[in-house]
Chains A and B, each alone.
Chain A
Amino acid sequence: MRKYLNEARLFLIGLPVFLWTLIPIWHLTVLSFSPKDDVTAGTWLPSQFTVQNFEIIAGQKHYYLNHFWQQFGNSLFIAVVAGLLTLLIATFAAFSISRLKTRGGSVVMNFALATYLIPAAFLAVPMYKVMGQYGLLNLQWSLILAMVTLASPYAIWVLKQASDKLPYELDEAAIMDGATPLQILRLVYLPLMKPSLVAIGTYALLLAWNEYLYAFLLLSKDSDVTLAVALGHFLSADDSPWNLLMATGLVYALPPAAIYYAFRKYMVGGLTAGATKG
């Protein structure tokens, strides 16, 4: 009896949690599979289940979706390049600070940490103006570089910590064999750091894929923007294609969600401390 009572009590917590979590996502999904007439109907189920929205998206058959595939590609391109560049820069820096004990390294580390902690929203306006001065505004490189700027501090920090844990004797042994720092980086460091590198690359990739504020400030042409910005543009449509907006949102949300779930265990270890920042 007591066991059932306890179970019932847990259920009383579980049910609100379930509803609280899922209602907005349910709503998003329902609209994605609803015909246009449902968008202002406010119903819990589609009046008629349809995949037409996804056909329209795939065929780019709406004014706000004319560049869908291009924009999907832009999101992917920017995320991948930002991920790789972040990895490159952060690996160098972490190796330098942690293994080579470069003088001034800890100062750089502290500045990087501060950059990581200062909310990105406060850097957005100055960054936007400065990108204009550099002549990078409206070029995808501006967003890539901005994302690298925002992602590398945390990347360096995590890589530095992971790298601090590698036994120093490995380096010593390599030095005995006459290895140069670059050889140590390539032959000793990189192979051992592989798991952290994958995690950090993923972190930077997701940060860039999910970014909205910087993307809408820095890019503008329909053919240049990322999906995140394209979703925002829907709000200036006067024919309320909210079902298409939600369907596009679903398509946009699935890849990162899948990655989060696949890397869940990793991310709890702290990676997503950064991801919540965006």
Chain B
Amino acid sequence: MKRFTRIAVAVAAAAGIAAPAMAQEKVTVWFTKGFYKAEDDALYEVIKKYEAKNPGVKVDLSLYGTEDCNTKSVGAVDSGTPPDVGFCTTYDFRVTGKWAFEGKLEDVTDIVAPLSDKFLPTTTSTTYLYNDKAKRKAYYAMPIQRQTMHFNYWKDMLEEAGFKENQIPNTWNEFWGFWCDKVQPAYRKKTGKRIFAIGHPMGVAASDTFYSFLTFAAAHNAQIVDENGKVVLDQPKNRQAMINAVKDYASIAEKGCTPPSSVNWLDPDNNVAFHNKQTIGTHNATISIAAKWLDDAKNQSLTAEQRATADKNYKENVRTIGFPKKPDGSTMTHLVAVKTAVVFADGKNKRRGKEFLAFLMQDENLTPFVEGSLGRWYPVTKGGATRPFWTDGSDFHRAKVYGQFNEYTQPFQFVYNYKFTIVNSENVWAKAIQRVVNDKVKPEQATDEMIARIKQLAG
């Protein structure tokens, strides 16, 4: 019935009967629904403050699930009815670069420029994008928060297998060998359970898969594009490095070190397997695995006992570490994704949209929003990253994240060539791995097929 009334109201409004109600100005905002309540609460607070500061302006907020948010936005942009402001946590992977190229986004340089001192280096460079319609580069998106790749493991399971944390090697081959060849057999022998050492995503439909794989590729120094967006993967040195990465990534599956169903995994499934203690460790881009236990520890709808377990898991049992040194012995370069908010060129109230975005970017508004994710997202501003939340060392997981972001980082390929968004969503990486694991072709052949397909899609 609510729909009927709403339609009736709309009709009445159109007919001019309800004209006074139209006086209110509206700004339409779409966000990804937070993983945790604190995130959404922080956003509501920003909106409340913005509306108080701008009487007569109403923020019409819609929160969508991660996948849906992107799909709905793409649909709305295609049909020319986008919101004014959009922030989905998969935009950067999937569409920001493409939209900028096609001229679907509003230039937000005038908001970014005054803030340039506040941003951490390398954050804004990922939103300086080429617009093929205007034939120029400009800031077409706003950096909001970041993520990178971590490794999580169960400390209690490791100890059950008879190992200590300080035995975890910090060199590449030894690190993976430790989990697959030592911990897994030892754990199985001790417990008789068919448990796997690593949750190793290989599903085509998971962003986890390309994030993890591209981290492996980065570790092997496989350069895929140059800074002008030209594909350089076919150069012999890069091709060889990619072959090594494919071989390496596939070997973990071939050794039976990851659950067989990881070839089908969707984004939550490595978390699921880990939380159910089906795997001892897993790599994951964000510390959402640990943060889930922190969230549970605070969740009043759980029993006191469950909360105590969750608290113990967060503080003691679940551990977060970075990746080991590269195979060549040098320090790991962390692959960092910058989550981007945009103002749409076809939005009905772009002016207010930009105003709202600028308002959100103020430290006192952005920081609670980013910190509401319990450490899942890392700040883009100096102010955000120097807060005790990250630096006081009281939280094991956040301290590790902070450490990683202060080492070498590198952006994704799609920052230089937006067509890599297609390469990633088609997931040529997962396909190459599955060619090796399922179809038993040589890594060389799988890599050459991968390169050929990449050149078709992005060359």
Contact = CB atoms under 8 A, between A and B. Distances in A.
B288 to A, nearest CB: 7
Given A129-B75, A236-B67, A236-B268, A135 B81 contact: yes
Determine the main DSSP class of A at the interface with B: loop
A238 B275 contact: yes
Nearest to A132: B79
A238 B75 contact: no
B205 to A, nearest CB: 11
Nearest to A140: B3
A55 B205 CA distance: 34
B75 A237 contact: no
Interface in A99-142: 128-129, 132-133, 135, 137-141
B272 A221 contact: no
A227 B83 CA distance: 27
Contacts of B275: 238-240
Contact of A238 (B68, B72, B78, B292): B292
B3 A236 contact: no
A132 B81 contact: yes
Contact of B276 (A40, A129, A133, A138): A40
Contacts of A61: 301
B62 interface: yes
B271 interface: yes
A37 B266 CA distance: 22
B65 A233 contact: yes
A141 B72 CA distance: 17
B66 interface: yes
B72 A138 contact: yes
Contacts of A128: 75
A220 interface: yes
A239 B292 contact: yes
Contacts of B65: 220, 233, 236
Nearest to A219: B68
Interface in B59-91: 62, 64-68, 72, 75-76, 78-79, 81
Contacts of B39: none
A133 B81 CA distance: 8
B254 interface: no
Contacts of B75: 128-129, 132, 137
Interface residues of A, number: 21
A238 B268 contact: yes
| Size range of the chain B interface in the assembly | 20 to 34
A132 B73 CA distance: 11
A129 B266 contact: no
Nearest to A61: B301
B267 A239 contact: no
A139 B3 contact: yes
B278 interface: yes
Nearest to A134: B79
A233 B67 CA distance: 10
Interface string B265-283: 0111001100110100000
Interface string A130-170: 00110101111100000000000000000000000000000
Given A40-B278, A221-B62, A235 B266 contact: yes
B64 A220 contact: yes
A242 to B, nearest CB: 9
Contacts of A129: 75, 78-79
Interface string B389-423: 00000000000000000000000000000000000
A91 to B, nearest CB: 22
B276 A237 contact: no
A140 B75 CA distance: 17
Contact of B271 (A133, A141, A238): A238
A240 B79 contact: no
A129 B80 CA distance: 11
A132 B78 contact: yes
Contact of B288 (A135, A235, A238, A240): A238
Contacts of A239: 272, 275, 292
Interface in A238-274: 238-240
Nearest to B272: A240
B117 to A, nearest CB: 38
Contacts of B81: 132, 135
A61 B299 CA distance: 11
A133 B3 contact: no
A120 B2 CA distance: 29
A275 to B, nearest CB: 26
Nearest to A81: B3
A139 B4 CA distance: 11
Nearest to B274: A238
A220 B278 contact: no
A40 B189 CA distance: 20
A37 to B, nearest CB: 9
A113 B406 CA distance: 65
B292 A236 contact: no
Point out which of A61, A137, A236 has the most chain B C-beta atoms below 10 A from its C-beta.
A236
Interface in B368-401: none
Contacts of A221: 62, 64
Interface string A223-239: 00000000001011111
| The 5 nearest A-B residue pairs measured at CB | A238-B271, A132-B79, A238-B268, A240-B272, A220-B68
22 contacts: A129-B79, A132-B75, A132-B78, A132-B79, A135-B81, A137-B76, A138-B72, A140-B3, A141-B3, A220-B68, A221-B62, A221-B64, A235-B266, A236-B67, A236-B266, A236-B268, A237-B268, A238-B268, A238-B271, A239-B272, A240-B272, A240-B276
Given A236-B66, A236-B266, 17 more contacts: A61-B301, A132-B76, A132-B78, A137-B75, A137-B76, A141-B7, A220-B64, A220-B65, A220-B68, A220-B72, A233-B65, A236-B65, A237-B268, A238-B272, A238-B292, A240-B272, A240-B276
